Structure 1
């Protein structure tokens, strides 16, 4: 049998679907939609090999709908229109059984290709299910995104992947004939990078490489069987995550040499330029922040530039940004401030906003005290008036602590003076 193990084990019902209980569990969102027979257009967002295509197939099968599938890599506008025309012929108007159009890697569709889907989705000629490994907020046009629900598929837990391996041993018609014991799984899980399809492919490879029908799977046995090819950059595997991690940590550690080296690894591997630029944009705020506010401007300009230019020239822009960020002073004070603030909100709930800083657009609101006694800072000496802005239950709570660098040292002195003016110490 030439059918790959991952395909042989592809679940056909929600009962066989591993993980994603928030979507497909007994009270999951998609479970309810299927039971009601009303399937909204949706974007399934999650890492590779998490089961997006499988889930789309299950939805179509369980709702008894026609199913059309396109790959964004190989399909153009004409292919999309051909499918839409077929869907219109089979239904034409929105019904509970209108066809499902599944588009894999929808983030690779151009704006014009995504535009070609709008009318069909809006009119209900098709129910669109798009699958993407990229943040749809960046990669799917807003007009299409507004017509779809976005469902996030979470990464597999170790227990999920081990359950998948055990299912393969017990239920696959080929593997079940062998005496297979899973003694160790760390190597398998590490090599798969959390990708279920890759995990099953590797597992099948090592099992088929054994002459005996009695097989004990160990980490050493796995590493011996799998070709050592980790120098190659795999955009969807472990190397993808390891190298971007090394890249970010090199910049955070102020090492431009290591940063540009790992950048070169990604460039040579054909990594998406927007993925690299987006990570630097996050780092510019999370790890540099107010120590050098210009870093965020540079990173944002880099993202815009490489989105327009692409390879090969964008490598120069990425290098400029990476080396600039690596050589910038570092501070995570802004990052820690929002973490502290969110934790405080979770602990204290929706506290009442002080009356003096509430908005008072109507006479009634003014009459009951909204905005009363508010002090407009610019009307006072040094553009500062002592007043409390936090709810009384958490008044005088410091959340932002400036970092130890030239810019934030100045901020610290400024805030110390304002604190003294406000609280007297």
Structure 2
């Protein structure tokens, strides 16, 4: 057993040994009470690595008398599924834990689904990806609950580490370890709420530390060396990666410089520079927009520089871009106006293009009535340039107004011009 990783050995054996996720499996939850009474519903467990999906499944199995079969969908085949189906037919009911459930193919699902539906197989599926995006609807519909797990708090991780240190049977309890509360806290913080990483780091620290006078003495420098990059998580294209992109954009939109830099740092550590640059460029026009039109050009220059430089130097222009966007005036009026126009078209609010706006660059255009257009540049108006009061929208939409200016930054000046032109138009319809 000692050859197995500490994180594996310390898996909870029943519900009472689960640390964290009390909103799902705490003693006052419906799930805890059902399992204690011997009833286990099919369910999906969704959360980041190390939050306890596998631990909860094993704890539920340890709290029931059901035959338990763990499978990983990345390596399981149709034969594995058929064996479990055969076991279910023999015993009447089995508990199947299916890790990485979103990777199950259609053939495997078709073999499994009828038995989940009739209750002979109780399915506990685990996934790091959003089940509403990546789990087949047929599986979702047969799972009564979708539980979203949270990262463990530093206090919960410290509790787990202390349990591993004193456990003589499964943990490190048979060794004399000299480690301080502060050092345990540092390990917990470095693990970033990931129980598996915390236990793995503790085990690595234990074996990297020197034994002096029969005691394993843990030093701060060992923890610091082994902690680098341990908190980084977010596969390219995975749900967590898109959550990070979403958090970055919402933090910039909310003008929180520190949160924005935190999420940018996390994204850059995943290595997908192109996706980050694309999102930053979208943000420049979606969230800053007309309030500061120069930002779009600045962010484009920064993202092009970042792609030319590559990581780690790419972080320098991107940091500039993110901070500038955070502290810039903001407006979403431009794309909102366009969306309003698109919605009007989808609702059937269309009409004929006025005759004087139609193409007249060919012989015969006058015969078709494509006449009457007035060239605005021939009608100067103050320092604005040229403007003439003529109809541009179709007859049935000539009073439509899609643009609603935001009084912020540079758009405040644009809004003044917009309102002035509306006034002139209304005076001389």
TM-score by length of 1: 0.57
Cα distance, 1:103 vs structure 2: 0.4
Instruction: Tell me which residue corresponds to 1:288.
Output: 286
* Cα distance in 1 between the residues matched to 2:152 and 2:208: 27
Cα distance, 1:17 vs structure 2: 0.8
Residues 15 and 25 of structure 2 are in contact (CA less than 8 Å); yes or no, is this contact kept in structure 1? yes
* Structure 2 residue 180 is matched with structure 1 residue 182: yes
Cα distance, 1:221 vs structure 2: 3.1
Tell me which of 157, 160, 163 is aligned to 1:164: 160
Instruction: Tell me which residue corresponds to 1:126.
Output: 121
* Structure 2 residue 199 is matched with structure 1 residue 204: no
Cα distance, 1:3 vs structure 2: 2.3
Written as runs of structure 1 = structure 2, the 5 A alignment for 1:145-294 is 145-148=140-143, 149-173=145-169, 175-176=172-173, 177-185=175-183, 187-212=186-211, 213-215=214-216, 217=218, 219-224=220-225, 226=226, 230=229, 235=234, 248=248, 266=270, 288=286, 291=289
* Cα distance in 2 between the residues matched to 1:243 and 1:25: 27
Q: Which runs of 5+ in 1 are unaligned?
A: 92-97, 254-258, 293-321, 335-378, 385-399, 416-425
Structure 1 residues 268 and 242 mapped into 2: Cα distance closer, same or farther (>3 Å)? closer
Instruction: Tell me which residue corresponds to 1:113.
Output: 108
* Cα distance in 2 between the residues matched to 1:54 and 1:82: 24
Cα distance, 1:124 vs structure 2: 1.4
Post-superposition Cα deviations, 1:257-277, rounded to whole Å, max 9, x if no partner, equal xx99998974679x9x9xx89
- 1:19 match: secondary structure: coil
Cα distance, 1:28 vs structure 2: 1.1
Instruction: Tell me which residue corresponds to 1:39.
Output: 40
- 2:126 match: secondary structure: strand
- 1:146 match: secondary structure: helix
Instruction: Tell me which residue corresponds to 1:7.
Output: 8
- 1:65 match: secondary structure: coil
- 1:175 match: secondary structure: coil
* Cα distance in 1 between the residues matched to 2:246 and 2:113: 40
Tell me which of 97, 100, 107 is aligned to 2:95: 100
Cα distance, 1:145 vs structure 2: 0.8
* Cα distance in 1 between the residues matched to 2:195 and 2:91: 35
Residues 243 and 262 of structure 1 are in contact (CA less than 8 Å); yes or no, is this contact kept in structure 2? no
Written as runs of structure 1 = structure 2, the 5 A alignment for 1:376-387 is 382=399
Instruction: Tell me which residue corresponds to 2:315.
Output: none
Residues 289 and 332 of structure 1 are in contact (CA less than 8 Å); yes or no, is this contact kept in structure 2? yes
Residues 14 and 58 of structure 1 are in contact (CA less than 8 Å); yes or no, is this contact kept in structure 2? yes
Instruction: Tell me which residue corresponds to 1:302.
Output: none
* Cα distance in 2 between the residues matched to 1:83 and 1:123: 14
Q: Which runs of 5+ in 2 are unaligned?
A: 254-262, 291-317, 334-395, 420-429
* Cα distance in 1 between the residues matched to 2:279 and 2:106: 25
Structure 1 residues 406 and 10 mapped into 2: Cα distance closer, same or farther (>3 Å)? same
Structure 1 residues 79 and 267 mapped into 2: Cα distance closer, same or farther (>3 Å)? farther
TM-score by length of 2: 0.57
Written as runs of structure 1 = structure 2, the 5 A alignment for 1:21-60 is 21-60=22-61
Residues 50 and 196 of structure 1 are in contact (CA less than 8 Å); yes or no, is this contact kept in structure 2? yes
**How many pairs does the alignment contain?**
305
Written as runs of structure 1 = structure 2, the 5 A alignment for 1:331-370 is 331=330
| Cα-Cα RMSD | 5.0
Structure 1 residues 208 and 330 mapped into 2: Cα distance closer, same or farther (>3 Å)? same
Residues 67 and 99 of structure 1 are in contact (CA less than 8 Å); yes or no, is this contact kept in structure 2? yes
